[in-house]
Amino acid sequence: MILCFDIGGTAIKVAEATGPDAIVVRGRVPTPAHDFDAFVAVLRGAIAGASTRPAVLAFSIAGAVDGITGRALIANIPCLSGRLLRAELEAALHLPVVLANDADCFALAEAAIGAGRGHDVVLGLILGTGVGGGVVVRGQLINGAGFAGEIGHGPVAQRILDDPPVTLPAFACGCGQTGCLDAVCSARGMERLHMHLHGDARDSRAIVGGWLAHDPAAARTIAVWLALLAGPLAMVQNVLGAGVIAVGGGLSNATPLVSALDVAVRARILQRFDAPLVVPARCAVEPGLIGAAILGLARLPVHAG
């Protein structure tokens, strides 16, 4: 049995898994974001409360672990950031540990039992509080470092658009750069765009709702949002040749928005797809837990259950 943890800045979700589609959620507890000893104590409590002693502990984390140094980079959980996290958790908990970025776990989940099932190459795209991603090739992450597929960061966002015509400022990103898609295409980014274009403070749900209701201001914001995101995403697709791009995160709940992004991306790529390429994610259970389970099961000894 694998004990899976989806570690977020506010809550830790826990589940037991014997397969990627055999996951029993055991609950959630607040994340002790500033106290490593308290964080470890929560994990020990989950292990003690498990139905059987787990063979592996698998973690989906809202951050990344540097594949070269092994150090964690987790801005919203300060007690974990900077640590040799896998080694320290194994020493504290006396069990094998596997770790991956939450976007990578999302991509693994969608490739295994979600929208990407049956495709050799799957790009998982998160459009929520931030813009993130992960790449799965033939059932495995393209690398183990947690940085592949991160389309949200890098100075690629256009500032001057022809269609619709608009000039944008160099919006700063939380990663320290300017021109990142995270700064303009996340939910907060969409709100930033709307404020810049119209001087109107609306949340992303209201903007999307206005677009669906044919509000002209919201329609212009979404047109700019689509133009900013579709070009870089099309370039990533030309590089990867993904069979599907599965979209998760809060913005993916607006199915017409995902459909509009699909149309915009397919108009910009070299390969022609008759069926949709950019589609909503399909995993019903928390994808972080499913992805963690897949990683943990890969570490499971053949004789273990």
pLDDT of 260 reads 98
At 135 the three-state DSSP class reads strand
Residue in the block written with tokens 């959630």: 28
Q: State mean pLDDT over 111-133.
A: 92
pLDDT of 301 reads 64
Tell me how far apart the alpha carbons of residues 266 and 157 are, in angstroms, rounded to a whole number: 19
Q: State mean pLDDT over 79-86.
A: 91
Q: What is the mean pLDDT of the chain?
A: 90
Tell me how far apart the alpha carbons of residues 29 and 183 are, in angstroms, rounded to a whole number: 30
Tell me how far apart the alpha carbons of residues 135 and 144 are, in angstroms, rounded to a whole number: 10
pLDDT of 278 reads 97
pLDDT tens readout for residues 219-243: 999 999 999 999 999 999 999 999 9
Encoding tokens for residue 183? 């700064």
Tell me how far apart the alpha carbons of residues 122 and 115 are, in angstroms, rounded to a whole number: 9
284 phi and psi angles, rounded to 5 deg: -80, -40
Q: Indicate whether 147 pLDDT > 80.
A: no
Domains annotated on the chain, with CATH = 2-104+285-299 (3.30.420.40), 117-280 (3.30.420.40)
pLDDT tens readout for residues 17-45: 988 778 888 888 999 989 999 999 999 99
Grade residue 137 by pLDDT with cuts at 50, 70 and 90. Answer: very high
Distance, CA of 34 to chain centre: 23
Q: Is 104 exposed, middle or buried (0-12, 13-18, 19+ CB in 10 A)?
A: buried
pLDDT tens readout for residues 38-59: 999 999 999 999 999 999 999 9
pLDDT of 10 reads 84
Grade residue 267 by pLDDT with cuts at 50, 70 and 90. Answer: very high
Please give the model's pTM, rounded to 2 decimal places: 0.88
